[in-house]
Amino acid sequence: MEQPQIIQLPKIQDPRGNLTFIQNGNTIPFDIKRVFWIYDVPGGEIRGGHALKTQHEIIISLSGSFDVVITLPNGQNQKFTLNRSYFGLYIPANHWRHMENFSTNAVSLHLCNDAFDENDYSRDLNAYLNQ
Ligand code: TYD
């Protein structure tokens, strides 16, 4: 997968409460090596604002809603609103992203294919756009 896109995850509907799962080997296009989540975001705050040079990521809203804005290498913006926990946004490597418009109690889950590595970050938007 070369483009950012929404992946529909399995949803096991149940009157006792719904269930969604992800496992290595299918469902998503990489094996998961790292998971982190962002929560307690004060109103109006922005997270992200970087590209990952080699790592892929999937972002899921586990609770509430927020927008993920992707700035493509050509400078165009693509906005994805995440508000259902059975949708994952796949972000390929080398795509600038930030997250905004967090609702109260929003929780974003991030799945990555590698361990944290500050050297994999691109934090300069101009350098990213002029690569
Ligand atoms: P960062 O990715 O810069 O957050 P954002 O771009 O949303 O503002 O991460 C914030 C801090 O957390 C930074 O000091 C690195 C640290 N961090 C880890 O130690 N491990 C991780 O897996 C992540 C995502 C961040």
Q: How far is the CA of 16 from the centre of ligand 1 (A)?
A: 36
**Average pLDDT along the chain:** 97
CA atoms within 13 A on the CB side of 72: 9
Residue 47 Cβ inside 6 Å of ligand 1? The answer reads: yes
pLDDT digits (tens, 9 = 90+) for 68-77: 999 998 999 9
Predicted ipTM? 0.95
CB 96 within 8 A of CB 13: no
Averaged pLDDT for residues 112-124: 98
pLDDT digits (tens, 9 = 90+) for 11-65: 999 999 999 999 998 889 999 999 999 999 999 999 999 999 999 999 999 999 9
Atom of ligand 1 nearest to the CA of 38: 7
Could you confirm whether 50 is annotated as catalytic? yes
Domains detected in the chain: 5-129 (2.60.120.10)
Residue 116 Cβ inside 6 Å of ligand 1? The answer reads: yes
